[in-house]
A = this chain, B = another copy of it.
Amino acid sequence: LKHLSGGFSNVVGFSSAGTHIGIKSTDKDFAVLFSDTVCTTAAVYTSNQIQGAPLLLTKQHLANNNAQAIVVNSGIANVATGEQGVKNAAQTAELLAAELNIKVDDVIVASTGVIGPQLPMEKIAAGITGIKAQLGTNEDFAEAIWTTDTRKKEICVSAHGFTIAGCAKGSGMISPNMATMLSFIATDAAIAEQELSEVLQACVGTSFNMMSVDMDTSTSDMVVVMANGRVPAETQQFREVLEYVCQELAKMVARDGEGATKLIVSEARGAYSQADARKVARSIVTSNLVKTAIYGNDPNWGRLIMALGNSGAEKIDQAAIQIWINQNLIVDAGAAAPDYDSEKLSAILAANEVVTITIDLHQGTENATAYGCDMSEEYVKINAEYTT
């Protein structure tokens, strides 16, 4: 596995651009990814019952598992916008298809930002005019899809002859329940439709669906992978690399959670079932009380016990539980470990930007890992001031 710097431009046949079209006051807010051939494409969508107009349109366009371009705006989510919102999403696809000379239903449309307002279609139209000439001139796609993000979430790896490049946006409304943010992935690997879809589902299950910033699953989010098929690929090898890409992106999204100062990696081991392992791992990264304790460099293992007790896992025996923070045993047999030293642990937490919490339930052999972040005053500040 080899890491490459940069993004989509590493994958032969793809080009992209990110630009500012005036939806946001100054930041980049418009991005296009283009493939010079029609790609086998799979997607996973939000589980929120309220879904944005762009997402509904994209589902229609991907009914045939083909796509050739992705257009994304940030700043306005085009959610809860009624018939006009549906028309605006469709018009965006039509304008881009005309600009790029491709089929309308090969365009994927995504929007992220404030719920409610209509898209400024004159700005969208002006932004699309001439975008073809900008493709490949910059690597700003990953930044142009930001809302409250502060770090670029981009990865590109090559292995077994094929290359996978992906990026994501995150920050808020991030919770583990299907495709909980925007992520766009391009590859030159040749993977059949059915397999691409199955592999993406599986990889999302161990990455984005195991990540939480705030338990609030957005109405707009999706993960898309486009495969142009230039390089023969063995499905299992492709799956392993795609899983790695998705997990790394999920970690980047969690680390850049709104107001976050630390990445939390929660490992559940020895669970009775895979469902139990996933519930316990997630329970740690979704607890406000755990998240605030980690922010305070407080090895408050009582909150870890509380959180896993709330996980809904089928088999938990308090007397069997062991917990480590960054490889230091802090809970043994369900109570404080004999040599537990809260001051030492607090110093370890303060010194590390990545906090790994490992829980062994001793109820079986199933394992799962979840990704999250701490919660700071800044999280509240960002979200108390977001639209006003």
Seen from chain A, the residues whose Cβ lies within 8 Å of a Cβ on chain B are 47-51, 77, 79-82, 114-116, 172-173, 175, 177, 214-219, 286-289, 292-293, 295-298, 300-303, 305-311, 313, 316, 318-319, 331, 333-336, 342, 346, 375-377, 379-388
CB contacts (< 8 Å) of A305 on chain B: these are 50, 79-80, 115, 219
B388/A298 in contact, CB under 8 A:
yes
B292/A383 in contact, CB under 8 A:
yes
B80/A335 in contact, CB under 8 A:
yes
Candidates B216, B307, B316; contact of A307 at CB < 8 Å: B216
CB contacts (< 8 Å) of A218 on chain B: these are 306
A380/B376 in contact, CB under 8 A:
yes
Candidates B48, B310, B377; contact of A309 at CB < 8 Å: B48
* Alpha-carbon distance A292/B378, docked complex (angstroms): 11
B77/A302 in contact, CB under 8 A:
yes
Report the nearest B residue to A308, measured CB to CB: B50
A219/B309 in contact, CB under 8 A:
yes
Q: How many copies of this chain does one complex carry?
A: 2
A116/B301 in contact, CB under 8 A:
yes
* Alpha-carbon distance A365/B368, docked complex (angstroms): 42
* Alpha-carbon distance A73/B82, docked complex (angstroms): 55
CB contacts (< 8 Å) of A376 on chain B: these are 380, 384
* Alpha-carbon distance A83/B313, docked complex (angstroms): 24
* Alpha-carbon distance A92/B300, docked complex (angstroms): 26
Looking at the assembled complex, report how far the CB atom of A158 sits from the nearest CB atom of chain B, in whole angstroms: 38
CB contacts (< 8 Å) of A79 on chain B: these are 302, 305-306
B80/A302 in contact, CB under 8 A:
yes
Looking at the assembled complex, report how far the CB atom of A57 sits from the nearest CB atom of chain B, in whole angstroms: 15
User: A306, A308, A376, A381: which has the most chain B beta carbons within 10 Å?
Assistant: A306
Candidates B172, B303, B316, B333; contact of A49 at CB < 8 Å: B316
* Alpha-carbon distance A311/B47, docked complex (angstroms): 11
A-B residue pairs in contact (CB < 8 Å), sample of 16:
A50-B308, A80-B301, A82-B333, A114-B302, A115-B300, A115-B305, A116-B335, A172-B289, A173-B306, A216-B306, A216-B310, A295-B380, A295-B384, A296-B384, A342-B388, A375-B380
Whether A289 contacts B383 in the complex (CB less than 8 A), given A50-B305, A77-B302, A82-B335, comes out as yes
